Amino acid sequence: MTRRWRESPATVLGVLTGLNAFNYLDRYVGAATLPLMLASLSISDAAGGLLQSAFILTYALVCPFIGWAGDRGPRMRLAAAGVFLWSVATVASGLAPTYALLLLARAIVGVGEWPSAAGPVTTAAQAAYTAARRAAATPR
């Protein structure tokens, strides 16, 4: 019996790997564009550094809760919700007209990024997905 392409563990792995690549790109694009943000928003170096701190602190504070939710609920739905939140917050970061809104958007990126790509939620989802497919394909 042939599987549809979207049910393939290789497809799931490819999508999650692509998300992870975007995750890291998004994480570091702020550092690359920091001089432009400082000039555009007329903020200090310290305020610019706070943008990354807002992201990483929110990311760290959310980790235990997202991990707990991933152990108790549908991981791929949690990951999809994270991708949606992460995407909206990333767009909001790019369109933020003020420092306060940019700071808020970067903090929300930290909430959305954790379940969407790099966290144990998607790693565990991939492992469970692959294991279930292998078990179903193994003759008894």
The pLDDT, as a whole number, for residue 1 is 45
DSSP H stretches of helix in 42-74? 45-72
**Alpha carbons 16 and 30: distance in angstroms, whole number:** 22
pLDDT in tens, 42-67: 999 999 999 989 988 998 898 888 88
**Alpha carbons 8 and 118: distance in angstroms, whole number:** 20
Choose among 51, 110, 60: nearest CA to 86.
110
CB-facing half-sphere around the CA of 28: CA atoms within 13 A: 5
pLDDT in tens, 65-90: 888 888 888 887 888 888 899 899 99
Which residue has 């790693």 as its token pair?
123
pLDDT in tens, 20-39: 888 888 888 888 989 998 99
Give the model's confidence band at 7: pLDDT under 50 very low, under 70 low, under 90 confident, else very high.
low
Is residue 93 within 8 A of residue 26, CB to CB? The reply is: no
